[in-house]
Amino acid sequence: MKYSLLFFVLILAGCMGNNQQDSNSEIDYSSFSPDSAIERGAVVITNTGEFNTEKLKEFEAMVDKNKSTKIEIVEVTTEGSPIYKKLSYKNKQLKLTIDSTSDSYGENGKVSYSCKRLVTAKNDNVIDYKLSECKGHTKNILITSISNN
């Protein structure tokens, strides 16, 4: 009986899926769809809407608490090309990587920034998320802008 129970538990454990992305694995960007990005928890900004924007506030709260965290942002251009932004916070350092290799009208490359502060600028219509005190840059680096509703 106990072997049957053990067998059942092992089978059940093997069948359980893990929906979280391995932190060391890369996301396959070769076949982009806004829906798949939304499903994996990315903040997605398109011409027709903004999705998962609450994740930006959650990220900001974790940074304020000095806790390691990361977030993915996907901005879809007018032509429908994705621009991927990975933002992480660890050991009081913010790292932003912007990947525009899928944007045929853009710079078509990757760039990374290392910064010390996350800044939000709010007005009546928009919230801008920016990085400041970045190595090699005197100006703030815009991460993204969302509606202030």
Q: Is residue 135 part of a domain?
A: no
pLDDT tens digits, 46-87:
999 999 999 999 999 999 999 999 999 999 999 899 999 999
Q: Is residue 130 part of a domain?
A: no
Q: In 10 A of CB 60, how many CB atoms?
A: 17
Q: Is residue 46 part of a domain?
A: yes
pLDDT tens digits, 83-124:
999 999 999 999 999 999 998 887 779 999 999 999 999 988
Report d(CA 44, CA 47) in Å as an integer. 10
Q: Is residue 82 part of a domain?
A: yes
42-52: burial string, b at 16+ Cβ within 10 Å, e else: bbbbbeeebbb
In this structure, what are the phi and psi dihedrals at residue 141, rounded to the nearest 5 degrees?
-105, 120
pLDDT tens digits, 8-36:
333 333 444 333 334 444 555 556 788 89
Two structure tokens written together for 9:
């538990």
Show the domain range for 40.
31-116
- In the chain, the number of structural domains is 1
Q: Is residue 72 part of a domain?
A: yes
Q: In 10 A of CB 129, how many CB atoms?
A: 22
